[in-house]
Structure 1
Amino acid sequence: MHDTDKKEEKVSIWEVVKSVFAAMLGVQSDKNRQRDFKQSSMLPYILVGIIFVVLFVIGLIGLVSLIAPN
């Protein structure tokens, strides 16, 4: 194992959002996936994932309510 393998690369919140979005769409790159799994805390990924799912469901509900008559 090299010293560079032990180094934890800190990610910004924007990188977390991009990573979660790519993973939800199934297009996450292996390099980014490995970087994400090296992080010390998975909490930011969980929070962004929950927010993304909630917004997705609200968007679907809004879309269906526009299309389907009452």
Structure 2
Amino acid sequence: MTVLQESPWYQDLNQGEIKGLISGIELGLQLKFGSEGLHLMSEISQIKDLEVLTAIREGIRTKNTLEEIRQIYQADE
């Protein structure tokens, strides 16, 4: 599996998933929290962990404040 993860093809696929998740998160934050939600994007766009990005995307549906969203990814630091 390590050889596969190091392949350029896998890296491109992973980068595509990351970009898609970040784009979805940005849209979700803007729709739910307005322009205030977009202030988190400078932090979120630095995250490269697919699991954390997926948790953030899912959290947009269930969390009620930007601080709750921030806690999702700051818990892993």
TM-score where L is the length of structure 2: 0.38
Structure ranking higher in helix proportion: 2
Larger RCO of the pair (alpha carbons < 8 Å, separation 6+): 1
Structure exhibiting the larger radius of gyration computed from Cα positions:
1
